[in-house]
Copies of this chain bind each other. A is one copy, B any other.
Amino acid sequence: MATYITKQQKAVLACIEAHRDRCVSAAELADELRSRGERVGIATVYRQLEKLERHGHVHKVLTEEGAYYQYCAHDALGNCFLLKCEGCGRIVHVDCGQLIPLYRHLEQEHHFFINPRRTMLYGRCAVCREAEK
């Protein structure tokens, strides 16, 4: 089964790669592609994102507002994880080795192997926390 490389494929990848610093939804991607003049159907966007996720090129994170996707550079793996603020809804990408000992503990004591691409921690960012006081 050969697989073709289409211009829609390249467009979706380029678009999500351009937003490597933040999470975007499938609808946002489709809108942006349209505004650039690239005509890509929403179904194709979903199909591409699914393939990219399967190959490890993007994170997929589930939120109250639907799924969000973020480009994932290979070399950032392992030490990166995602924080979502329940106040303002923003998703913060943190690169920090502090998770490593936890992962090791979970493997050794609880026999569970974390997938950092998928893992998202919920909480409140400093701004929202302050505003609520």
A27 contacts chain B at the CB level, 8 A cutoff:
no
Q: Which residues of A contact B (CB under 8 A)?
A: 62-64, 83, 85-86, 92, 94, 96, 98-99, 102, 105-106, 109-115, 118-126, 129
Does A129 contact B102, Cβ atoms closer than 8 Å? no
Expressed in whole angstroms, the minimum distance between the Cβ of A80 and any Cβ of chain B is 13
Does B86 contact A112, Cβ atoms closer than 8 Å? no
Does B92 contact A112, Cβ atoms closer than 8 Å? yes
A-B contact pairs, 9 of them (CB 8 A): A83-B110, A83-B112, A86-B115, A94-B110, A96-B110, A98-B102, A98-B106, A112-B124, A112-B125
Does B123 contact A113, Cβ atoms closer than 8 Å? yes
